[in-house]
Amino acid sequence: MLKKCVALLCLSMLPVSLMAWGAQGHRVVGKIAENHLSKKAKDQVALLLGTERLPLVTTWADEVRYSPEYTATAPWHFINTALGLPFAQYAGVVTAMQEPNAYLALNQNIAVLKDAKATKEQKVVALKFVVHIVGDVHQPMHVSRAEDKGGNAITVKYQGKDTNLHSLWDSGLLDYEGMTYSELATLLDKPTPTQVQQWQKDGITQWLWESYTISQQLYAETEKSATFDYKYIPAHLPTVEDRLLQAGIRLAGVLNSVLG
């Protein structure tokens, strides 16, 4: 019990910028996905996770990334390219990348889940990475540019306090909601059947492209002024909510396809 408390204390001291969407956002994604699993996929997830619940394992990949056996997974949480690329060129750059990144990692871990020869332990780890990375790539500042570390190196001022662009988008906007992850998931989880069908049909490069497009807009706004007032969060909250909902629906689509 003492070790668990110490571990939780250490986790709570990590910079917010290291945890995409924060725990709150990732769990919203997991809860929405859980709501849209087929019966077979839900049974398979339960078989793999045992007593653990899908929304609560969405942060596991952040929690273990500094453990020696998982330090190599640090690049799995983001993907960076040059800005200003049209979709076709962007998709070509992403799919041609050889260095570790979120796109490669997501596809690799999905392949493990599909692999009949993979052990249960391997599939459990792969599932935990999949549910996390899907959330990560829907956070716009995780699909951005390398020179400013996805906005971590861009200092902004929000309501008189210094922060950075990445942190503001990881958790700052969600903190504004003041809800539990299950409450927020319930509020957001109202997609139309047409939206569910289209979002689950979209390929991974489309997910990335959407985040990439948003991050370019955020960079442009910040270049005009890095001092944000009370209007910033209400203006961008619909985008955050859309990305969380899309991530949850798409995660369910992946798991239904792979496990269902």
In CATH, what number is assigned to the domain containing residue 160? 1.10.575.10
- Residue 1 vs residues 44, 52, 66, 239: alpha-carbon distances, Å: 30, 17, 21, 40
Torsion from C-alpha of 193, 179, 66, 30, nearest 10 degrees:
-20
Question: What is the pLDDT, as a whole number, of residue 177?
Answer: 66
Calpha distance 134→132 (Å, rounded): 6
pLDDT of residue 172 exceeding 90: no
pLDDT of residue 18 exceeding 70: no
Which of the pair, 190 or 11, is modelled with greater confidence?
190
pLDDT in tens, 72-128: 999 999 999 998 999 999 999 999 999 999 999 999 999 999 999 999 999 999 999
Helix (H) or strand (E) holding 255: helix 232-259
pLDDT of residue 16 exceeding 70: no
Question: What is the pLDDT, as a whole number, of residue 146?
Answer: 81
For range 247-260, the mean pLDDT: 97
Look up the domain containing 251 and give its range. Answer: 2-259
Question: What is the pLDDT, as a whole number, of residue 37?
Answer: 98
| Identity of residue 81 | T
Give me the number of domains the chain comprises.
1
